[in-house]
């Protein structure tokens, strides 16, 4: 359920006419709905009601500080995977003691940043990381609260590029070695083991892999406690899928039931890290049709949005529903078209042989379910812009990140002396 619906034949974000925002900020742009963010957060929180669970929103899904702050005001903490995301979460007002620092390649300076900020816990994914963290903590004189991220060797049955919990993936410590490593870590100066963590992948549409992974965690908690470890926290990661296109996904309540059944009685403080589930349906990418081109065998609808704005179709074969901003007549003739962007890559294709109502140059279209892994993955390829992000709240809207265009980037580029016609040194050497 989202708040991008037709009203009197015009697509609105909550009660704001999308065409009005497009006229105001120009296309393409991302548009997020506060009411949808709030609803998704509440439905998820409700699914875990009664459990001692902290929701740490996964900032990498959508790091815009207005989005993060909206969730923070509802009580969310944050899961961050880089020093940059930690800076964002703090800038959005998330208290440090509700921030989990995850990630497979934390640098020394990121560790120092996390310790200085006083994050709730650092999820460690390897022995070398544990050793470095111990050194950094000792040097700073601040102890590190650590959870060991476990690789449970469970197949999440999702797209191969977003599966993270199989033994051949780079993430986490093999579950068979967890005991040995936790016991070693306990002896390291500056390290306090507070718990375990797991995250098996993203866009999971089946609950069984969660059940398997959490069952394995349950066994490990029991084993470590028997060794005398204090396991206070159990971080269950994120990954619950959402419906893209016609796909179906489990309801948060069904996920909550699995959590309750498998780990609900462990007397651990649970941490959950949903990203996509909260923001995916709360955002759309709005674009204008530049041309409709009749190819030899196909019709191409060429948009002003491209793979640099939304890479998910190119990277994950993702299926984003595409709808026109002006509601088509119920009996509008549908045609099969390829919807593409202007970037010089065949991969710059949003949909192939998609059945769409008639669209013409100048029409506005919307790609749904673009709130997660959309703007955060954008690039400047083809000297395009990072497009504006707009947040709607009821009948209000605000640009929450302005366009970052070629002029902004050119201002950061410089010519070295030997290429600069105005450099006096060059004139001296006759260069
Ligand atoms: C990406 C990530 C998440 C969020 O995943 P979603 O599929 O967006 O819910 C949570 N935890 C960790 C450690 C992650 O890397």
DSSP 8-state code for residue 275: S
φ, ψ (nearest 5 deg) of residue 372: -110, 135
Q: Is the CB of 275 under 6 A from ligand 1?
A: yes
Q: Is 383 left (phi over 0), alpha (psi -120 to 50) or beta?
A: left
Output the CA 164–ligand 1 centroid distance in Å: 10
Q: Among 57, 163, 195, 199, say which to mutate for ligand 1: greatest number of ligand atoms within 8 Å of CB.
A: 199
Q: For residue 431, what pLDDT band results from cuts at 50, 70 and 90?
A: very low
Question: Is it the case that residue 427 has pLDDT exceeding 70?
Answer: no
Asked if 268 is an active-site residue, the reply is: no
Q: Is the CB of 274 under 6 A from ligand 1?
A: yes
Q: Which CATH architecture has domain 4-30+280-410?
A: Beta Barrel (2.40)
Q: Is the CB of 308 under 6 A from ligand 1?
A: no
pLDDT tens digits along 227-281: 999 999 999 999 999 999 888 999 999 999 999 999 999 999 999 999 999 999 9
Q: Which of 70, 82, 67, 76 is nearest to 95 (CA)?
A: 76
The residue contributing the CA closest to ligand 1 atom 10 is 238
Could you write out the DSSP letters of every residue in 40-80? HHHHHHHHTTTS-EEEEEEGGG---HHHHHHHHHTT-EEEE
Q: Which of 62, 8, 23, 52 is nearest to 391 (CA)?
A: 62
* Chain centroid, CA 377 distance in Å: 9
Q: Which numbered atom of ligand 1 lies nearest the CA of 274?
A: 9
Point out the catalytic residue in the list 12, 31, 56, 344: 344
Kindly list the domain boundaries of the chain, sorted by start residue: 4-30+280-410, 34-276
Q: For residue 156, what pLDDT band results from cuts at 50, 70 and 90?
A: confident
pLDDT tens digits along 302-344: 999 999 999 999 999 999 999 999 999 999 999 999 999 999 9
Output the CA 276–ligand 1 centroid distance in Å: 8
What 3-state class would DSSP assign to 305? Answer: coil
E strand residue ranges, 273-348? 283-294, 299-303, 322-324, 335-340
Q: Which numbered atom of ligand 1 lies nearest the CA of 202?
A: 7
Q: What mean pLDDT is reported for the chain?
A: 95
Interatomic CA distance for residues 137 and 118, integer angstroms: 12
pLDDT tens digits along 40-72: 999 999 999 999 999 999 999 999 999 999 999
Instruction: End-to-end CA distance of the chain: give it in Å, rounded.
Output: 64
Q: Is the CB of 199 under 6 A from ligand 1?
A: yes
Q: Is the CB of 278 under 6 A from ligand 1?
A: no
In CATH, which of 3.30.365.10, 2.40.50.140, 3.20.20.10, 3.30.360.10 is domain 34-276? 3.20.20.10
Interatomic CA distance for residues 402 and 83, integer angstroms: 23
Output the CA 61–ligand 1 centroid distance in Å: 8
Q: Is the CB of 61 under 6 A from ligand 1?
A: yes
Output the CA 271–ligand 1 centroid distance in Å: 12
CA angle 401, 83, 67 (to 5 degrees): 35
Output the CA 184–ligand 1 centroid distance in Å: 27
Q: Is the CB of 239 under 6 A from ligand 1?
A: yes
Question: Is it the case that residue 424 has pLDDT exceeding 80?
Answer: no
φ, ψ (nearest 5 deg) of residue 260: -60, -45
Residue 159 tokens read as 């797209």
As a whole number, mean pLDDT of residues 383-408 equals 98
Q: Is the CB of 202 under 6 A from ligand 1?
A: yes
Q: Is the CB of 85 under 6 A from ligand 1?
A: no
Give the C-alpha distances (Å, rounded to integers) separating 321 from 5, 118, 142, 156, 430.
13, 42, 49, 24, 60
Radius of gyration (C-alpha) of the chain in whole angstroms? 24
Interatomic CA distance for residues 412 and 32, integer angstroms: 29
The residue contributing the CA closest to ligand 1 atom 3 is 238
As a whole number, mean pLDDT of residues 106-129 equals 97
């Amino acid at each position: 359920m989202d708040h991008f619906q037709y009203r009197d034949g015009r697509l609105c974000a909550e009660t704001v006419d999308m065409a009005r925002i497009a006229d105001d900020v120009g296309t393409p742009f991302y548009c997020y709905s506060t009411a949808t963010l709030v609803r998704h957060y509440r439905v998820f929180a409700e699914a875990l009601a009664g459990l001692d669970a902290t929701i740490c929103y996964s900032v990498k899904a959508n790091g815009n500080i207005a989005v993060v702050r909206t969730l923070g005001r509802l009580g969310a903490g944050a899961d961050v995977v880089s020093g940059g995301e930690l800076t964002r979460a703090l800038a959005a007002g998330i208290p440090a003691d509700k921030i989990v620092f995850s990630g497979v390649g934390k640098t020394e300076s990121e560790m120092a940043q996390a310790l200085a900020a006083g994050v709730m816990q650092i999820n460690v994914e390897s022995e070398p990381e544990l050793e470095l963290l111990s050194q950094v903590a000792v040097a700073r004189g601040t102890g590190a609260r650590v959870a060991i991220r476990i690789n449970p060797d469970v197949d999440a049955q999702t797209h191969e590029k977003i599966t993270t919990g199989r033994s051949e993936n780079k993430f986490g410590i093999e579950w068979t070695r967890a005991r040995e490593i936790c016991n070693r870590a306990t002896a390291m100066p500056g390290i306090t083991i507070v718990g375990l963590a797991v995250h098996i992948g993203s866009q999971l549409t089946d609950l069984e892999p969660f059940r398997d992974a959490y069952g394995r965690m349950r066994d490990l908690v029991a084993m470590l406690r028997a060794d005398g470890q204090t396991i206070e926290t159990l971080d269950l990661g994120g990954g619950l899928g959402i419906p893209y296109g016609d796909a179906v996904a489990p309801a948060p309540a069904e996920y909550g039931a699995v959590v309750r059944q498998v780990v609900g009685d462990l007397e651990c403080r649970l941490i959950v890290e949903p990203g996509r589930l909260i923001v995916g349906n709360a955002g759309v990418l709005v674009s204008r049709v530049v041309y409709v081109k009749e190819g030899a065998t196909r019709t191409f609808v060429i948009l002003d949005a491209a793979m640099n704005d939304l890479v998910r179709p190119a990277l994950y074969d993702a299926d984003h529903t595409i709808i026109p901003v002006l509601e088509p007549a119920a009996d509008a003739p549908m045609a099969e078209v390829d919807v593409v962007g202007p970037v010089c890559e065949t991969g710059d294709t949003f949909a192939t042989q998609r059945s769409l109502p008639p669209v013409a140059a100048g029409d506005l279209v919307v790609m749904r379910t673009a709130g997660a892994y959309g703007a955060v993955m954008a690039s400047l390829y083809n000297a395009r812009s990072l497009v504006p992000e707009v947040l709607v709240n009821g009948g209000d809207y605000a640009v929450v990140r302005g366009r970052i265009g070629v002029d902004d980037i050119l201002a950061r580029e410089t010519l070295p002396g030997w290429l600069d016609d105005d450099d006096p040194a060059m004139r001296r050497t006759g260069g």
